[in-house]
Structures are given as structure tokens and as C-alpha cells.
Structure 1
Amino acid sequence: MHRTGLTELEVTLAVASRSSFRAAARELGMSATAVSNAIAGLEARLNVRLFNRSTRSVSLTDAGRRYVERIAPALAEIQRASEEISTQPETPTGTLRINAPPESALLIFEPLLREYLHRYPQMRIDLTTEARMVDIVAEGYDAGIRLAESVPQDMIAVPVTPPVRMLIVGSPEYFAAHGTPATPDDLPNHQAIGMRMSHGGIYHWELERHQQKFTVNVPPRIVLNEMRVIRQAARSGIGLAFISSWFIEQDLANGSLVSVLEQWCPSFEGLRLYYPGRRHVPAGLKALIELVHEIRDRKSPATDMSFFSQQ
């Protein structure tokens, strides 16, 4: 029998149906002493005798009969609810709530979310995109998507993408007009496309070479807060952009953008799907985690940077 947590009521019904403490104990997988103690405890709290007992028989009192008639339907309904909620369906159903930055949502839609919805037609995804850091537990989300460095330490994190690089890029027309920087020291003499962060500040370009890290403040000609718009501004020749390689693979391939100073642009960990705890993971979220692993196994993250590419 699936236990509901209402042990004393289950024991009462078992004893009433079997007219025996020992038979009820066998049915419930309890000792006869535990059954007797449960009945005695319930009678003490109700201040009424539920069973007449002798060395040879057990029978309900009139009060016990009326009590059993009232609790039996309710306990049966609780039992059904407990069994239904504890049984994971073969096909996940329900709504999966996810929080992610806007650009990350674009990256994971193909193929992850599209394939998930195709594979699990009874699931719905409620995806909220916002740049600010969100407490997914406090705000009622099942999971979040963030860069590995931004995932809270008390969360379980699953790699969704391979490592990524921030690259310094410009259009061929821009470099023809302004020249090509040979070292980071040349960057302050160039025009830049600034990126506004969610906290309001402008992102300073973080470079690294030979394990030496430093930041460069390139005066922005224009400040934007969406990676797609920054990409378009760079392609139009306004200035240099410091942008995730995920968003510009096609532009680099067709020559509409050119990358410079790559030796100063190291890779870092990519996106993570994160969620609270390992116990009682909802079926819909568990299916998404398994799909993430499946998709990653299809490709080699070490060599295939187009794992989730922005077209």
C-alpha cells in the first residue's frame, strides 16, 4: 500500500476491515504492537473508543463505525492522489518554467527547445527572457540558463554549450578606413560599439594572454544592450565590437566581419542549465536534462563550436 502519511487512519480502516490487529499489521507491513499503539493513540486524541477488544475478537463500537464511514471515502481519495502524484508518467506532461537571458534563449531554441517540444507533445514551455539575475526558486521557475560563471553555487548545473570566446571584430570597410590594431594598446585609438550591462554599466573588454588578464576601455561611439544589435552595428562599419563567437560564426565565415587580436581572446565556460537539488526532479525537467546530454553526445564540444549557433 502506498503510504500517505495518515498512518493512524490507514490502520483504523485496516483493523475495521480485517477485524484483527494481527491481520491489519500483516496488510500494512507493521508490527502488531505498532498497530495497537496507533489505535490507542488515535482513541486518546479523539477521547472515544473505536474498537471493542477481547482476547478472541475485535469489533467496531458504534462511534467507531460512524467514524470509519466518514473517513473511508476521504482516505481513499487521498490514497489515489498520493499514487497519482508519485507515479511518473512515461510521457512528461505539464508546464516547464525557464528563465534565461534573451541572447541565451536564442541560442538554445535550436535544436534544444524545438526538439524537446516535438518529442514531448504534452509538455509546454514557459520561457521568460531577462538580463537581470533571477532567484529561480523564489520566483517559481523550474530551471534557469546562464553562463557557468553566473550560476549560483547551491544549484546543480548541466553544461548546455561548449566553451565560448569573446572576439574583437569589425567590418572590412571599418578596417580599410581606420586600420587594423596590432596590439591591445592600439584599441583606445579606435571607435567601439559599447555593450550596456543589466546593472547599467558599460562592459570593459577583458583580454588575456600568457595567463595575464587586463581590461581595455575602448571609447564607445554607440552603446547598445542586445548582442544582435551589436552584431548588426559591427557589420555596418560603425566600430569594433567585443562579441560572443556564438553570434558571429556565419559572419566570420562569409567575411562580413573580421576578427583581430585573437591571441588575446581566450575561451571560457559556456551556458549551463541549472536547477535546485537532485531529489524529486520534475519529469519534464528530467526529460530536458536527458535531452541536453543526448544532443551534446552527438557532437564533440572540443572541436565543434557550432553546437548551438546563431544563424
Structure 2
Amino acid sequence: MKQIFTVRQGALDGVEAFLCVARHRSFRRAAAELGVTPSAISQAVRVLEERIGAALFIRTTRSVGLTEAGQQFLSRAKPAFEELVAASDAARDLGQRPRGLLRLSVPRAVVPLLLDPLIASFHEAYPEVEVEIAASNQLIDLASEGFDAGIRLGQFVEADMVALPLTSPLRLVVVGSPAYFRGRSRPERTDDLRQHACLRWRKSSGALAPWSFNNDGNAVEIAVSGPFIAHDFPTMLGAAMEGIGLAQLPEPMVAEGLQSGKLIEVLKPLAPVIPGVFLYYPSRRQLMPKLRAFIDHAKSREAVHGKVPHTK
């Protein structure tokens, strides 16, 4: 059976007083340093000795010395207490100014579209913050996995998260390469997709995501079929560029391909609008300065919104 260990309540009481007396070899000077009365120092040491079960000091009217038990206790308590103080100072420092490691869970597709320019400017503004990006399409538990925040499309953010929009709403567009359309007619209605190879995306839950459309203001989902299944948007985009089939992707991902003529958009009137990209995190009450700085930087950086086209 696994044994449960706990620290006894008050186990550290009197340790600082003991260390101060041991350093000065004086109860009076220790009291002056700690800003308390000599009697308070004496009482704290006495309680510590009673709890340990051994005398730690030899007291005379003229001097204070350590017993053998006191020497042993000092040799181990001093470095441990100093390490505890250092740990407290380090934690306090992290809680007072933006510094340390900021861990973000981000889909692969978002990194080049949004984070590259944002991270570069954030690093310039806050050089003491290290940013770690875990590029994954898995919807993870931020707290249990040790992440400060995540970035996702709005429809994938849990309702109990605090969410900050990083972009305006986005269109989901259907695209294909000129090579794919060579010898094929372009779809004009959703029913036409039955005659086309549609690239599909498998969600982290294992289910295949349907394609979504806006039909006269009504949201419609269609189960499509095709020869290729991807687990992330960049892979699906690459397959579409190679002419394997049609893909439905967020508009910013395909903007460059559309402008260069490497991709052609179809079913434009039916393109739905999705909430956009959001930064999300568990609680406003637990914000560390490093995350607060990142949030404020994201809010104030107009170039971020310029990078991702707004929906008209």
C-alpha cells in the first residue's frame, strides 16, 4: 500500500529564528534583525526545541553556543531554508513581472499565419519571456499538460475557457488546383460535390469532419467522400495544391494560393463564416504577468489583424 507523507503543521515554525540566533550567537541581535523582541525569539526557539525533542543551544549569561544536536540541525536546516527562500523569491519574481517560460498549445496551421509575426514583436517587447509553442491539433487539457494558454479556431474552444479573439471571423472556402479542374466541371451546388474527390479532415476525437455551408442563412453540414484523409489543415492544403482533390479550409490559409493562381475557389456564395482564431486560457484570476503581457500585446498589435484578412 502506498504510504502518504505530509509535512506536519508548523514544522518550519522557529527555524528562521534558530538560524538567525545561530548566525549571530545572540538572541538579542537576532531579535533586532528580525524586528521582534528577544523574548519572542527565545519562545520560538524553545518551541522548536520541544518539537524536535533536543536542546539546540547552550545558553549562559555571557554567550550562546550550539549543542551537538544544534550543529547537526544547522548543517541541514541552513541550506534547506536558504533554498526555500530562494524558491519563494523566484516564484515571487515570476508573479511580479513578465519573465519565465510561456507555453502555448497551437495548431500547426496557425503558426505561420498568426504567431510568427506576433511572437517576433512580443520577444522584442518582453525579452525575459521565453515562448514555447507546441504545434499540435490535439485538443488538450491546458492545466494538466502544463500550458499557460492555447490558440484555436473559436468553435474548438471549450465554453469554460476565457477566450480572446485574435482575428475577425473567417470564411471557410472550398478550393482546388487548376490541375484538378482540368477536364472536370466546377461544382456550383453542394450536390455537385458527389462527383468530386473531396479531401477530408479527421478530428482529434477520431471522427471525420463534415463540410459546412451557408444555404440562405441556414447552416448545412455535408458528409463528403474522397481519396485522402488528413489530420491537420496544412497537410490537406498540400494535397489540394497537388491536385488530389478539393479541400475546405479557412480563407487565410489559402489566400496566397488564390492570389498566385495555384488554387481556385468554388461554391463562393455558400462559404460559411466561422468565429475566427482565439487565444484561450483557464481563469482571469490566475493570470501570471507573462501571460497578461502576451494578452495585452496581442490586443494592441494591429499588425496581427492585418495579417489575417477581415471578413467583409
State whether TM-score is above 0.5: yes
Q: Is the 8 A contact 1:50 1:60 kept in 2?
A: no
Structure 1 41/65 Cα, relative in aligned 2: closer, same or farther at 3 Å?
Answer: closer
SS in 1 for 2:144: coil
**73, 92, 95: which one aligns with 2:99:** 92
Instruction: For residue 205 of structure 1, report the CA deviation from its aligned partner.
Output: 0.6
Structure 1 75/201 Cα, relative in aligned 2: closer, same or farther at 3 Å?
Answer: closer
CA distance in structure 2 between the partners assigned to 1:280 and 1:194 by the alignment: 38
Deviations 1:43-94 (A, max 9, x none): 33123466899xxx9985764975885545653454344324422486735x
Structure 1 83/179 Cα, relative in aligned 2: closer, same or farther at 3 Å?
Answer: same
Counterpart of 1:161 in structure 2 is: 167
CA distance in structure 2 between the partners assigned to 1:28 and 1:154 by the alignment: 46
Query: What is the one-letter code of the residue matched to 1:306?
Result: V
Structure 1 80/153 Cα, relative in aligned 2: closer, same or farther at 3 Å?
Answer: same
Query: What is the one-letter code of the residue matched to 2:277?
Result: L
Q: Is the 8 A contact 2:172 2:250 kept in 1?
A: yes
SS in 2 for 1:111: helix
Q: Is the 8 A contact 2:113 2:308 kept in 1?
A: no
Counterpart of 2:308 in structure 1 is: 306
Instruction: For residue 112 of structure 1, report the CA deviation from its aligned partner.
Output: 2.0
Counterpart of 1:242 in structure 2 is: 248
Query: What is the one-letter code of the residue matched to 2:200?
Result: G
CA distance in structure 2 between the partners assigned to 1:31 and 1:116 by the alignment: 50
Matched, 1:82 2:121: no
Query: What is the one-letter code of the residue matched to 1:127?
Result: I
SS in 1 for 2:256: helix
**262, 269, 276: which one aligns with 2:268:** 262
Moved more, 227-236 or 202-211: 227-236
**134, 157, 166: which one aligns with 1:128:** 134
Query: What is the one-letter code of the residue matched to 2:308?
Result: S
**271, 291, 300: which one aligns with 2:297:** 291
CA distance in structure 2 between the partners assigned to 1:74 and 1:239 by the alignment: 64
Q: Is the 8 A contact 1:51 1:59 kept in 2?
A: no
Q: If the length of structure 2 is used for normalisation, what is the TM-score?
A: 0.70
CA distance in structure 2 between the partners assigned to 1:221 and 1:77 by the alignment: 60
Query: What is the one-letter code of the residue matched to 2:27?
Result: S
Matched, 1:213 2:213: no
Q: If the length of structure 1 is used for normalisation, what is the TM-score?
A: 0.70
Instruction: For residue 9 of structure 1, report the CA deviation from its aligned partner.
Output: 1.7
Matched, 1:231 2:237: yes
Matched, 1:107 2:108: no
Deviations 1:19-51 (A, max 9, x none): 359x94x86577999767644532331234668
Matched, 1:272 2:278: yes
Task: In structure 2, list runs of 5 or more residues that go unmatched.
Answer: 1-10
Matched, 1:146 2:148: no
SS in 1 for 2:143: coil
CA distance in structure 2 between the partners assigned to 1:256 and 1:228 by the alignment: 15
Q: Is the 8 A contact 1:13 1:68 kept in 2?
A: no
Structure 1 239/28 Cα, relative in aligned 2: closer, same or farther at 3 Å?
Answer: same
Matched, 1:19 2:27: yes
Aligned-pair identity (%): 30
Task: In structure 1, list runs of 5 or more residues that go unmatched.
Answer: none
Superposed CA RMSD in Å reads 4.2
CA distance in structure 2 between the partners assigned to 1:29 and 1:173 by the alignment: 82
CA distance in structure 2 between the partners assigned to 1:102 and 1:157 by the alignment: 19
Q: Is the 8 A contact 2:202 2:229 kept in 1?
A: yes
